[in-house]
Chain A
Amino acid sequence: MTESSIEGRFRPSGQLQLGIFFQGVNSGTVWKAPESGSQTDFESFRRIAQTAERGLFAAFFLGEGLRLREHLGRPHALDVAGRPDAQTMLAALASVTSRIGLVATQNTTYNDPADLAHRLSTLDLLSGGRAAWNVVTTDNAWTGANFRRGGYLDHADRYVHAEAFVETAKRIWDAWNDDAIAASGTAAEWALPGSVRRVRHEGQHYTVDYLPRLPRSAQHRPVLFQAGDSPEGRDFAARQADVIFSAHPKFDDALEFRRDIVARSLKAGRGANEVKIMPASEFILAATPREAADKKAWVRSLQIGPQQALAYLEQFWGRELQDYDPDGPLPGIDPVVEETSETRGSGFHGAKARQLADQWRAEAKEKGFTIRQFVSSRTSRADATFTGSYTEVADRLAEYARTGAVDGFNISPWLIPTGLDDIVNHLVPELQERGIYPTEYAGTTLRENLGLTTPVRARSVPAARTAGEGVTVAGRRA
């Protein structure tokens, strides 16, 4: 595989960026180790954000879940649960950091565009141009039970809705002329008449009639991240996003994903290098390969304990399996459900349960896996983990930088709040020595630090879109 196999116009930057994803609410975050701290106290967030900034990380991400995960009809007890509202926490972190980007995962389904755009603008202005929005969609009525609207959105419509939402947000962010506010107290008026455009949108799912309340920030408007992986999700990202938070960290897979995104970006009329890619990843590092391997075994044993292993199977079997030995073979009994209903709030569902059980039993038997070993091998982290000595892993990452397979990695630390310490203290210097990692922040805004271009101001009439969301009425000049 060579870089020439990526679309010709694409030019690898030869550089990597790092982000930290403070995810928390899954088995990836170890809470059983003595070093594991609070998942909610501000001090944990401050410490990890400041550590990331010391390591010149481009971005600090917060996830979002609008309903607690459930297991067999009750809140899921085994993993870390509960986290602060993303933008409230990031606004607080903005005052104790000065360069790192602040990325809020926010849902397009259960927010209003005017309110969300306004809050993101606020974060962008307070942080001096460091805000970003990781755009996610939800369509399930189960999450909707926490909101006025309930479950109103069809799965098929989720990107149509999201795209109209994002375009409306962009128009809100671009509504003020740069010289709108008076330069001094002696001016005739606080804001120059006619310098702010009203934003109107009437669509199938929502209506907005809004006079935006904030000017553009130092980076013009918040950076957009997107994580959708379906063909529709990738096209949406190629049209709208600045950075894709991808699920493809494995080298070959990452190159393939890059090729696909470059093709989609060009098709959407954007440049081959315009959409950055930062896959989710986990790092388990030590001074020597041997120590790293031992550490990995220890981390995995804490992530997938006996109870988590059984619970993982229970969600596919649809029944309690507490009598089974986690260190023994997979259960011989069949699932009681037709379709799996995986722990709510954590992703996939809808597989044919019995078929899946047969398949898994065969696979585990062939590999000689116990329940715990099997479950450990199934988690999404298996492919996303870089394990090894600092130099070993730095060499592997250099290959990603050389080929341009990715623009960087979004690291989910398995320990809070000290999980970035070894990366910042030992891996970052190795990357710098190889010339593939910044030695200082390129600028003060997130857009500068990610090497993104200044966005073109959203026009009052947006470009043609996929159809479906209805008419957008052009904003009028007053």
Chain B
Amino acid sequence: MSVREGQQPAGGLLLIELDGDGGHPAAWRKSRTAPPSVLGARRLRDTVLAAESAGFHAATFRDAPDETGAAENIAPGNGAGRLNALQRAAFVAPLTRSIALVPEVDTVYTEPFHVATQLASLDYVSRGRAGWLVAAAGADGADGQGRVQAAAVGRELADSQRRTREAASSIEVGRRLWDSWEDDAVIRDVETGRYLDVDRLHYADFQGPDYSVKGPSIIPRPPQGQLPVLAPAGVLPSAAVAGGAADALLVSAPTPELLTAELRDAAAALDAAVSKSRLEEHPKPALVAELDIVLDALGQSAAGRLAELEASAAWQSPRARFVGSAAELSELLASLLTLAAGVRLHPAVLDVDLEELAQLVLPELRRRGLLAPVTPDATFRDLLGLPRPVSRYAAPGTAVVRSTGVRSTASTTGN
């Protein structure tokens, strides 16, 4: 069965990271609004609406504390103060219609049960547009950041083995809990007086090395059935990736050239892992390339803008960085989209770079037919070309519930 071919989205996807004033730690100096506004509703709403009307397929929301917050003092730059990512996504959900909303949520120092039910709730309030950007605090050499999060909840810093294990466990708990109510568990059968068909509810009974979770979930199955899970490559054990833990992997490399090579390697590694595991029922995760960007804007060259920003703080990022014109960026994205299903952009300064993207880059890529269409009320799974799965606990032969979004699980009619 050509499951994998069927999984490919109908065109490239563009994701955008919308944290704070932008990816650069000095972005707050170049924003149109005063620094405190970044912690308020208006700026959040305006930024997300700008990304949606530009035609981005998904917005991500960073959550981790700045590493520099490990010191006694507050971090000096952009991102020292940060609203909870999942709640930011929930806040904008009723205000948007097409953009997928993907908060970063940690797996190591959080309660998997809360994480699963919060994400399921985000899927309800966004009517099937939620995703999960998995984090394992302290991964990627960011030990300082891991320590900040560990200390906040009174735990020791987890080593790398523990981190990958925790990340895989948390996803498994989430996926089991999302399936723990079958789609038609709410029956509202007046005749027998039953609101639920208890046979369609299931204990998750997760037993891991670090904790166990009983279930079932406290919320019915989310509109998408399963939320798409995005994980940075390397955060999950390869067995978990081969077993379908992630729907997309984020791929980073220090330069655009290396990024191209890294994407080829990642694709080959996935093919090998998937064929070795023979778990063909799991679609191969999509690859999403990570790219920092600084564009020519406001009559200034990108390099000039970057130099100004760097004069007040250095942008330390594990990602490839593009610095140049909108036309050059369009070329780079066109080439990356031949190797990856999507690209996640990290604009240096949201107020400035997002506008250039909206006016020059996305229209050009769309004109060339390189981008997947943006459809109001489509689910994030729809965007990724993923069918809505049947609950793992459903009796064999249960039909796939095609409908997603608002009507899928909860609007069972009262009678």
Chain A residues proximal to chain B, CB less than 8 Å: 31-43, 46, 65-68, 74-85, 87-89, 91-96, 110-112, 114-115, 118-119, 122-123, 125-128, 145-148, 150, 180-187, 189-191, 193-196, 198, 206-211, 213-215, 305-308, 476, 478
Q: How far is the CA of A37 from the CA of B186 in the complex (A)?
A: 12
Say which residue of B87, B124, B201, B410 sits within 8 Å of A68 (CB atoms). B201
Q: Which residues of B contact A91 (CB under 8 A)?
A: 86-88, 90-91
Say which residue of A76, A82, A118, A147 sits within 8 Å of B84 (CB atoms). A118
Say which residue of A84, A111, A187, A308 sits within 8 Å of B124 (CB atoms). A84
Are A78 and B195 neighbours in the complex by a CB distance under 8 Å? Answer: yes
Does B233 have its Cβ within 8 Å of any Cβ on chain A?
A: no
Q: Which residues of A contact B215 (CB under 8 A)?
A: 146
Which are the 4 A-B pairs with shortest beta-carbon distances?
Answer: A207-B154, A307-B193, A92-B125, A88-B121
Are A126 and B83 neighbours in the complex by a CB distance under 8 Å? Answer: yes
Q: Which residues of A contact B151 (CB under 8 A)?
A: 208-210
10 A–B contacts from the bound complex (CB under 8 Å): A85-B114, A88-B118, A95-B92, A110-B113, A126-B41, A185-B30, A190-B75, A190-B80, A211-B72, A214-B83
Say which residue of A66, A126, A194 sits within 8 Å of B87 (CB atoms). A126
Q: How far is the CB of B380 from chain A (nearest CB, A)?
A: 16
Q: How far is the CA of A84 from the CA of B153 in the complex (A)?
A: 24
Q: How far is the CA of A122 from the CA of B117 in the complex (A)?
A: 18
Are B76 and A190 neighbours in the complex by a CB distance under 8 Å? Answer: yes
Q: How far is the CB of A396 from chain B (nearest CB, A)?
A: 32
Q: Which residues of A contact B82 (CB under 8 A)?
A: 213-214
Are B111 and A123 neighbours in the complex by a CB distance under 8 Å? Answer: no
Q: How far is the CA of A94 from the CA of B127 in the complex (A)?
A: 17
Q: How far is the CA of A38 from the CA of B410 in the complex (A)?
A: 6
Q: Which residues of B contact A189 (CB under 8 A)?
A: 76
Q: Which residues of B contact A215 (CB under 8 A)?
A: 36, 39, 81
Are B110 and A81 neighbours in the complex by a CB distance under 8 Å? Answer: no
Q: Which residues of A contact B117 (CB under 8 A)?
A: 84-85
Q: How far is the CB of B170 from chain A (nearest CB, A)?
A: 11
Does B323 have its Cβ within 8 Å of any Cβ on chain A?
A: no
Does B409 have its Cβ within 8 Å of any Cβ on chain A?
A: yes
Say which residue of A39, A125, A184, A193 sits within 8 Å of B40 (CB atoms). A125
Does B266 have its Cβ within 8 Å of any Cβ on chain A?
A: no
Are A115 and B110 neighbours in the complex by a CB distance under 8 Å? Answer: yes
Q: Which residue of B lies closest to A218 (CB)?
A: B40
Does B94 have its Cβ within 8 Å of any Cβ on chain A?
A: yes
Q: Which residue of B lies closest to A27 (CB)?
A: B195
A88 and B87 in contact, given A42-B127, A190-B28, A476-B72 (Cβ under 8 angstroms): yes
A81 and B28 in contact, given A208-B154, A476-B72 (Cβ under 8 angstroms): no
Are A83 and B193 neighbours in the complex by a CB distance under 8 Å? Answer: no
Are A213 and B69 neighbours in the complex by a CB distance under 8 Å? Answer: yes
Q: How far is the CB of B122 from chain A (nearest CB, A)?
A: 6
Q: How far is the CA of A95 from the CA of B126 in the complex (A)?
A: 12
Q: How far is the CA of A32 from the CA of B192 in the complex (A)?
A: 11
Q: Which residues of B contact A180 (CB under 8 A)?
A: 74
Q: How far is the CB of A192 from chain B (nearest CB, A)?
A: 9
Q: How far is the CA of A208 from the CA of B148 in the complex (A)?
A: 11
Q: How far is the CB of B384 from chain A (nearest CB, A)?
A: 22
Q: How far is the CA of A122 from the CA of B127 in the complex (A)?
A: 22
Say which residue of A67, A89, A308 sits within 8 Å of B193 (CB atoms). A308
**B residues 180-222 touching A (CB-CB < 8 Å):** 181, 186, 188, 190, 192-198, 201, 210-220
Q: Which residues of B contact A127 (CB under 8 A)?
A: 41
Does B414 have its Cβ within 8 Å of any Cβ on chain A?
A: yes
Q: How far is the CA of A93 from the CA of B124 in the complex (A)?
A: 12
Does B399 have its Cβ within 8 Å of any Cβ on chain A?
A: no
Say which residue of B73, B110, B213 sits within 8 Å of A194 (CB atoms). B73
A96 and B94 in contact, given A81-B195, A196-B73, A207-B154 (Cβ under 8 angstroms): yes
Q: Which residue of A lies closest to B30 (CB)?
A: A185
Are B41 and A94 neighbours in the complex by a CB distance under 8 Å? Answer: yes
Are A191 and B76 neighbours in the complex by a CB distance under 8 Å? Answer: yes
Q: Which residue of A lies closest to B204 (CB)?
A: A146
Q: Which residues of A contact B80 (CB under 8 A)?
A: 190-191, 213
Are A75 and B201 neighbours in the complex by a CB distance under 8 Å? Answer: yes
Say which residue of A66, A78, A128, A185 sits within 8 Å of B35 (CB atoms). A185
Q: Which residue of B lies closest to A36 (CB)?
A: B414
Does B237 have its Cβ within 8 Å of any Cβ on chain A?
A: no
Are A191 and B196 neighbours in the complex by a CB distance under 8 Å? Answer: no
Q: How far is the CA of A182 from the CA of B35 in the complex (A)?
A: 6
Does B65 have its Cβ within 8 Å of any Cβ on chain A?
A: yes
Say which residue of B77, B87, B154 sits within 8 Å of A87 (CB atoms). B87
Are A68 and B216 neighbours in the complex by a CB distance under 8 Å? Answer: yes
Are B211 and A148 neighbours in the complex by a CB distance under 8 Å? Answer: yes
Q: Which residues of A contact B36 (CB under 8 A)?
A: 181, 183, 215
Are A41 and B406 neighbours in the complex by a CB distance under 8 Å? Answer: yes
Are A187 and B35 neighbours in the complex by a CB distance under 8 Å? Answer: yes
A191 and B74 in contact, given A42-B94, A125-B40, A308-B193 (Cβ under 8 angstroms): yes
Are B86 and A88 neighbours in the complex by a CB distance under 8 Å? Answer: yes
Q: Which residues of A contact B31 (CB under 8 A)?
A: 185
Q: Which residues of B contact A65 (CB under 8 A)?
A: 218
Q: Which residues of A contact B219 (CB under 8 A)?
A: 40, 82-85
Besides the known contacts A96-B95, A115-B152, 16 further A-B residue pairs in the complex with CB atoms under 8 A apart: A40-B219, A42-B127, A78-B195, A84-B125, A84-B219, A87-B87, A88-B87, A110-B113, A123-B87, A147-B211, A183-B35, A185-B34, A195-B74, A198-B72, A206-B154, A211-B148
Q: Which residues of B contact A207 (CB under 8 A)?
A: 154
Does B97 have its Cβ within 8 Å of any Cβ on chain A?
A: no
Q: How far is the CA of A126 from the CA of B39 in the complex (A)?
A: 8
Q: How far is the CA of A184 from the CA of B35 in the complex (A)?
A: 6
Q: How far is the CA of A82 from the CA of B410 in the complex (A)?
A: 10
Q: How far is the CB of A138 from chain B (nearest CB, A)?
A: 13
Q: How far is the CA of A96 from the CA of B93 in the complex (A)?
A: 10
Are B414 and A40 neighbours in the complex by a CB distance under 8 Å? Answer: no
Does B316 have its Cβ within 8 Å of any Cβ on chain A?
A: no
Q: How far is the CA of A145 from the CA of B51 in the complex (A)?
A: 41
Are A210 and B152 neighbours in the complex by a CB distance under 8 Å? Answer: yes
Q: How far is the CA of A215 from the CA of B192 in the complex (A)?
A: 53
Does B45 have its Cβ within 8 Å of any Cβ on chain A?
A: yes
Q: How far is the CA of A306 from the CA of B87 in the complex (A)?
A: 41
A42 and B124 in contact, given A85-B118, A145-B212, A198-B72 (Cβ under 8 angstroms): yes
Are A83 and B39 neighbours in the complex by a CB distance under 8 Å? Answer: no
Q: How far is the CB of A41 from chain B (nearest CB, A)?
A: 5
A208 and B87 in contact, given A77-B194, A82-B181, A94-B41 (Cβ under 8 angstroms): no
**B residues 117-166 touching A (CB-CB < 8 Å):** 117-118, 120-122, 124-125, 127, 148, 151-154
Q: Which residues of B contact A148 (CB under 8 A)?
A: 111-112, 210-211
Q: How far is the CA of A408 from the CA of B181 in the complex (A)?
A: 38
Say which residue of A38, A198, A206 sits within 8 Å of B411 (CB atoms). A38
Q: Which residue of B lies closest to A182 (CB)?
A: B35
Does B415 have its Cβ within 8 Å of any Cβ on chain A?
A: yes
Are B121 and A110 neighbours in the complex by a CB distance under 8 Å? Answer: no
Are A82 and B90 neighbours in the complex by a CB distance under 8 Å? Answer: no
Does B404 have its Cβ within 8 Å of any Cβ on chain A?
A: no
Q: Which residues of B contact A94 (CB under 8 A)?
A: 41, 91
Are A78 and B194 neighbours in the complex by a CB distance under 8 Å? Answer: yes
Q: How far is the CB of B192 from chain A (nearest CB, A)?
A: 7
Are B220 and A92 neighbours in the complex by a CB distance under 8 Å? Answer: no
Q: How far is the CA of A330 from the CA of B75 in the complex (A)?
A: 67
A183 and B34 in contact, given A32-B414, A191-B81, A211-B74 (Cβ under 8 angstroms): yes
Q: How far is the CA of A219 from the CA of B309 in the complex (A)?
A: 35
Are B95 and A77 neighbours in the complex by a CB distance under 8 Å? Answer: no
Does B260 have its Cβ within 8 Å of any Cβ on chain A?
A: no
Are A78 and B193 neighbours in the complex by a CB distance under 8 Å? Answer: yes
**B residues 92-117 touching A (CB-CB < 8 Å):** 92-95, 110-114, 117
